[in-house]
Chains A and B, each alone.
Chain A
């Protein structure tokens, strides 16, 4: 079966890559941009040698964060493959290129999408030990989707483990009509917005309707317990504006958009160890 899977994924069998370029000793593996999973609803970018011993699933963060982080996570997949790892970036449904609008997604759909991503990772890299990277609101679904030893290690980037506090933070400045100096008004407006979500109404955050079904699941989960199960296998990376500007909004003069070398080297170091 391993041979069959390897044969299926040799570059020769991929439409747009006729040959495998070789740069010194390093194999430069092509990128495969494809839809997969149930009804082809999930989008992913895969790369790396089919016989890789270690493979990393990078789960794209839900919502508008997926747009901000795209280039950085895409480059991470490329860099992981270049260092000999298998890598797959998956967009959960409702995010990035995958099917559904964000408001149609739920906690369960996010958890299932992480599991489907891991299945796809195993199909593409059948000999590899699996690792997982999840970002911001994607952290809790990742924790709920898989427990050790099903995966070797987990890297959480800026995880929103206290979702209520994270949402309040993200709503800062997102509510129209607030006065800059009226901190109390802003606080009340954010409380009212979160209350609407608690009552099952969608709210608009960053141009996307935040789905109440996702909110309910995130709130009902116990991330501390789930994280404890990983013990030393879990790593939490707090990025900050200097290392991952993509997530730090309202920085029009920040030098962003194409490279995040500090973040990338931290993630690659994690993948190596």
Chain B
């Protein structure tokens, strides 16, 4: 196993810095990892580096990328709180950057995208419309923007707040009643409509694994909007793990689950 660093140019010329973990033999797949929110490509507590090493040891080529504004990437982003950064990423800040990285990956092995938390949104949306992507794996995929209703209600008071609450309540009822087939953006501004569309578009079209921590609550959002029964999407909960899989043993479990699932999902069909 070897590592190398390389730089990819985004469409606007910004430098995106990547580390590639190259297996000793021919790669079983080429996995591109989106950064988990406003973090460098090593991930929270270096968990993505560890995950990449484990997947590479199992025969996968893995590329981790720093995307704009974070880590070693070019193009600074405006100063903001961590939840604000998260929301920007969940709204698609990194989607085109990740596509630029996947376009630079030259390998005949099946291309797989992986992302955790806000990075899961990036991975899922980057896969939409990219015919080279053969599978997507997400961990703790949020379909509601970080801060949710709280962010929408920030700074509102009195009658304005009551009116907004009524609109949000109507929006939630429409989304739930239609099993998220109707996505009224104006009535449900906390909902990440593009990622729900991507989820619907990709499920059944290519293998999709949605992983969640058993101690997390983000998967409740999927159930609430009936997105937990999508055809062709495998959903798995890992007991005892939270929103992040930071502890070394947790990373090992996630790597084993992903490796086993990819072996099944990418097996040539008879």
Contact = CB atoms under 8 A, between A and B. Distances in A.
Contacts of A259: 76, 79
Given A97-B49, A207-B45, A255-B79, A70 B38 contact: no
A59 B5 CA distance: 19
Contacts of B112: none
A151 interface: no
B46 A43 contact: no
Contacts of A208: 45-46, 248
A257 B85 contact: yes
B7 A70 contact: no
Best-buried of A97, A253, A256 by chain B (most CB within 10 Å):
A97
A207 B4 contact: no
Contact of B46 (A31, A102, A256, A258): A102
A99 B45 contact: no
Interface in B127-177: none
Contact of B248 (A95, A96, A204, A258): A204
A97 B5 contact: yes
Contacts of B71: 70-71, 74
A258 B72 contact: no
Per DSSP, are chain B's interface residues mostly helix, strand or loop, or mixed?
A: mixed
B82 to A, nearest CB: 6
B19 A97 contact: yes
Interface in A248-273: 252-259
A97 B81 contact: no
B208 to A, nearest CB: 27
Interface residues on A, range: 20 to 34
Given A31-B72, A74-B71, A207-B247, A67 B46 contact: yes
Interface residues on B, range: 35 or more
Interface string B1-30: 011111101000001010100000000000
B102 interface: no
B79 A258 contact: yes
A101 B72 contact: no
B240 to A, nearest CB: 12
B92 interface: no
Interface in B64-86: 69-72, 76-83, 85
B218 interface: no
Contact of B5 (A34, A67, A206, A253): A34
Contacts of A247: none
B91 interface: no
Contacts of A34: 5
A252 B81 contact: yes
B7 A257 contact: no
Given A255-B81, A258-B69, 4 more contacts: A67-B45, A70-B71, A97-B3, A252-B82
Interface of B: 2-7, 9, 15, 17, 19, 38-47, 49-50, 53, 69-72, 76-83, 85, 244, 246-248
The 9 A-B residue pairs whose C-beta atoms are closest, nearest first, are A207-B45, A207-B246, A70-B40, A33-B5, A64-B45, A16-B7, A257-B38, A74-B72, A67-B42
Interface of A: 16, 31, 33-35, 40, 43, 45, 64, 66-67, 70-71, 74, 95-97, 99, 101-103, 204, 206-209, 252-259
